[in-house]
Amino acid sequence: MLKGFKDFVLRGNVLDLAVAVVIGAAFGAVITALVKDILTPLIGALVGQPDFSAYTVTMNGSTLLIGDFLNAILSFLLIAAAVYVFVIVPVNALVARRRRGEAPMDPTTKKCGECLSEVPIAARRCAFCTSALT
């Protein structure tokens, strides 16, 4: 049982995922600090309130931390934008470059002339409307 666990942990996917989680957490901390220490004071200076993260609204004795919530939203948007720009766009470009030289796959289905449903290439009758296929 211990050998099986060791094999599982030492698989490449598990190690890659562990590294990605650690780097992602560190990246999240950097973005949160950027929002809290640089962007929030800039927005606060534009709005006229020196500390934007301390902006609150009190309703019926309850305090709503609006500024803190807006900081979290701004952090999320910056992290999502950075992941898109630095991960998704390059990976999509790499996949597109790799597929450029490949021939397109042969189709495995065709459309029925009557009901326009997808049927296998080898079919002689449509499974949906039972019309004869040519």
pLDDT tens per residue across span 73-104: 888 888 888 888 888 898 889 888 888 877 77
> Is the Cβ–Cβ distance between 115 and 131 less than 8 Å?
yes
Are both 125 and 88 inside the same structural domain?
Answer: no
Are both 39 and 79 inside the same structural domain?
Answer: yes
Q: Which helix (H) or strand (E) holds 99?
A: helix 89-99
Whether 8 shows a pLDDT value over 80: the answer reads no
Are both 67 and 132 inside the same structural domain?
Answer: no
Are both 10 and 62 inside the same structural domain?
Answer: yes
- Residue 62 pLDDT: 92
Are both 56 and 118 inside the same structural domain?
Answer: no
Please tell me the distance from the alpha carbon of residue 53 to that of residue 120, in angstroms, as a whole number.
60
- Least Cα distance to 122 among 133, 114, 130 occurs for 133
Q: Please give the residue that has the higher pLDDT: either 45 or 29.
A: 29
- Residue 49 pLDDT: 67
Are both 19 and 45 inside the same structural domain?
Answer: yes
Question: Structural domain of residue 25, as residue ranges?
Answer: 2-102
Global pTM exceeds 0.75:
no
Are both 42 and 93 inside the same structural domain?
Answer: yes
Q: Please give the residue that has the higher pLDDT: either 36 or 120.
A: 120
The total number of structural domains in the chain stands at 2
Are both 33 and 14 inside the same structural domain?
Answer: yes
Are both 85 and 67 inside the same structural domain?
Answer: yes
Are both 62 and 128 inside the same structural domain?
Answer: no
Are both 49 and 110 inside the same structural domain?
Answer: no
